[in-house]
């Protein structure tokens, strides 16, 4: 990582992968905001390089990214991702062609999704106010139900057969559990909920539970409870304040994190981080919303989730003050009622982006 502007200012190279749908709109908005932040603070410099991967690239080249795409990504400090998917390409082709083709091979094994009841987002739950939901969801991101193992045989026959094999390794479970316990320990409540389904999945999920219990012995200061995934959905709705840090498998947390975002008020403000805690590979940051082709090109896409993801990226890179300033600026803009239609507002992508940039400039003056 190069140094710039003297010994204390770092220069970061970020890969930008806007990809499909509203991805380019929210990523471009985020780049503008982050550049404004860097220009205002003058404590770091940041350069974004756009990689034109996605469905358009697939239609031209027959693949979602070039063969040396992972090598290209490894030359950057981090990446910001938009969304992938198109109405005329099957979802399993687009997802496995790009996002999952990055997560697994680069061992971005910890997917972290902070969930908060955000200003001007109204939870569908009764008696939930801003600040009542403050969770960190930790998702195993490299194996489990999304291992890509299985196949189909006897195609188009009445006895056509398909298998989808979930793979759980002791190494994979232990490292995500250790990461989850460390995350829980770093938070004030020091509470971790382990999500499982070991009552009916008697092999992989039993190993999951056993390793969780073993790792937990190294964290005596962290309170642990265990929930079956189906019961967890009820607890999230009926007793959201009882939760703090949650860890689960690839599939379980994929589903629960969307539920969590909806309970907090909107999937349009939900960020995520695909992390390599060993820091051997650059981590990738993205909103959890999809391509949203129904609003693509209309200029009303909500950029908050992507901007929040960029805040998480800056924190991961070590720019914690900048990350906090960025998050606080977004929160202030939402609190002022400058939001897109999905949050009940009348602004648009450009309006929210400009408002966040102005808030950054004003925060520095205070």
Convert the pLDDT of each residue in 187-245 to its tens digit.
Answer: 999 999 999 999 999 999 999 999 999 999 999 999 999 999 999 999 999 999 999 99
Convert the pLDDT of each residue in 40-60 to its tens digit.
Answer: 999 999 999 999 999 999 999
Say how many residues make up the chain: 366
User: Residue 139 — φ and ψ, nearest 5°?
Assistant: -115, 130
The strand pairing partners of 134, in sequence order, are 116
Instruction: Give the global pTM.
Output: 0.92
Residue 259 pLDDT exceeds 70: yes
Other CB atoms within a 10 A radius of the CB of residue 157 amount to: 8
Average pLDDT of span 139-148:
93
- pLDDT score recorded for residue 7: 43
Q: How far apart are CA 9 and CA 172, in angstroms?
A: 36
Structure tokens at 132: 């009542």
Q: Per-residue confidence at 4, pLDDT binned at 50, 70, 90?
A: very low
Long-range contacts from 51-57, C-beta under 8 angstroms, 24+ separation: 51/15, 51/16, 51/17, 53/17, 53/19, 53/98, 54/17, 54/18, 54/19, 54/20, 54/23, 54/84, 54/98, 55/19, 55/20, 55/84, 55/85, 55/86, 55/89, 55/94, 56/20
Q: What is the CA radius of gyration of the chain?
A: 21
Convert the pLDDT of each residue in 9-41 to its tens digit.
Answer: 899 999 999 999 999 999 999 999 999 999 999
Q: Which residues contact 190 (CB under 8 A, 6 or more apart)?
A: 184, 221, 222, 223
- pLDDT score recorded for residue 117: 81
Q: How far apart are CA 244 and CA 259, in angstroms?
A: 15
Q: How far apart are CA 218 and CA 215, in angstroms?
A: 6
Burial class (CB in 10 A: 0-12, 13-18, 19+), 226: middle
- pLDDT score recorded for residue 2: 36
- pLDDT score recorded for residue 290: 85
With beta carbons less than 8 A apart as the criterion, state whether 21 and 292 touch: yes
- pLDDT score recorded for residue 366: 65
Mean pLDDT rounded to a whole number for the chain: 93
Q: Which of 9, 29, 43 is nearest to 364 (CA)?
A: 43
With beta carbons less than 8 A apart as the criterion, state whether 254 and 149 touch: no
Average pLDDT of span 95-104:
90
Average pLDDT of span 165-187:
97
- pLDDT score recorded for residue 267: 82
Structure tokens at 133: 């939901």
3-state secondary structure the chain: CCECCCCCCEEEEEEEEEECCCHHHHHHHHHHHHHHHHHHHCCEEEEEEECCCCHHHHHHHCCCCCCCHHHHHCCCCEEEEEECCECCECHHHHHHHCHHHHHCCCCCCEEEEEEECCCCCCCCCCCCCCCCCEEEEEEECCCEEEEEEEEEECCCCCCCEEEEEEECCHHHHHHHHHHHHHHHHCCCCCEEEEEECCCCCCCHHHHHHHHHHHHHCCCCCCEEEEEEHHHHHHHHHHCHHHCCEEEECHHHHHHHHHHHHHHHCCHHHCEEEEECCCCCCCEEEEECCCCCCCCCCCCCCCCHHHHHHHHHHHHHHCCHHHHHHHHHHHHHHHHCCCCCHHHCCCCCHHHHHHHHHHHHHHHHHC
With beta carbons less than 8 A apart as the criterion, state whether 237 and 125 touch: yes
Structure tokens at 52: 């034109």
Q: How far apart are CA 65 and CA 229, in angstroms?
A: 35
- pLDDT score recorded for residue 6: 40
Residue 357 pLDDT exceeds 80: yes
Q: At what angle do helices 320-335 and 304-317 cross, to 10 degrees?
A: 160
């Amino acid at each position: 990582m190069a140094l710039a502007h003297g010994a204390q200012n770092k220069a970061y190279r970020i890969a930008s992968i806007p990809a499909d749908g509203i991805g380019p709109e929210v990523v471009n908005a985020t780049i503008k905001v982050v550049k404004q932040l860097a220009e205002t603070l003058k404590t770091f410099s940041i350069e974004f390089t756009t990689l034109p991967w996605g469905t358009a690239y697939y239609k031209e080249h027959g693949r979602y990214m070039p063969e040396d795409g992972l090598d290209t990504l490894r030359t950057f400090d981090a990446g910001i991702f938009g969304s992938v998917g198109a109405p005329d390409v099957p979802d399993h082709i687009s997802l496995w062609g790009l996002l999952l083709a990055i997560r697994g091979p680069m061992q971005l094994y910890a997917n972290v999704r902070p969930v908060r009841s955000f200003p001007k987002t109204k939870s569908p739950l009764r008696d939930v106010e801003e600040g009542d939901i403050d969770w960190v969801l930790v998702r195993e991101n490299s194996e489990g139900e999304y291992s890509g193992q299985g196949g189909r045989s006897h195609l188009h026959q009445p006895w056509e057969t398909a298998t989808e094999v979930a793979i759980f390794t002791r190494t994979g479970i232990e490292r995500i559990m250790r990461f989850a316990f460390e995350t829980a320990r770093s938070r004030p409540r020091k509470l971790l909920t382990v999500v499982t389904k070991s009552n009916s999945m008697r092999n992989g999920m039993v190993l999951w539970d056993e390793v969780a219990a073993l790792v937990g012995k190294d964290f005596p200061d962290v309170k642990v409870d265990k929930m079956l995934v189906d019961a967890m959905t009820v607890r999230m709705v009926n007793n959201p304040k009882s939760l703090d840090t949650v860890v689960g498998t690839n599939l379980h947390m994929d589903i629960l994190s969307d539920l969590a975002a909806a309970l907090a008020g909107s999937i349009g403000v939900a960020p995520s981080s695909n992390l390599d805690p060993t820091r051997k590979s650059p981590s990738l940051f993205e909103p959890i919303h999809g391509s949203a082709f129904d609003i693509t090109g209309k200029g009303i896409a909500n950029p908050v989730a992507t901007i929040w993801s960029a805040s998480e990226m800056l924190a991961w890179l070590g720019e914690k003050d900048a990350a906090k300033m960025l998050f606080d600026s977004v929160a202030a803009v939402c609190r002022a009622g400058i939001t897109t239609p999905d949050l009940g507002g009348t602004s648009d992508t450009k309006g929210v982006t400009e408002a966040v940039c102005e808030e950054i400039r004003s925060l520095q003056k205070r």
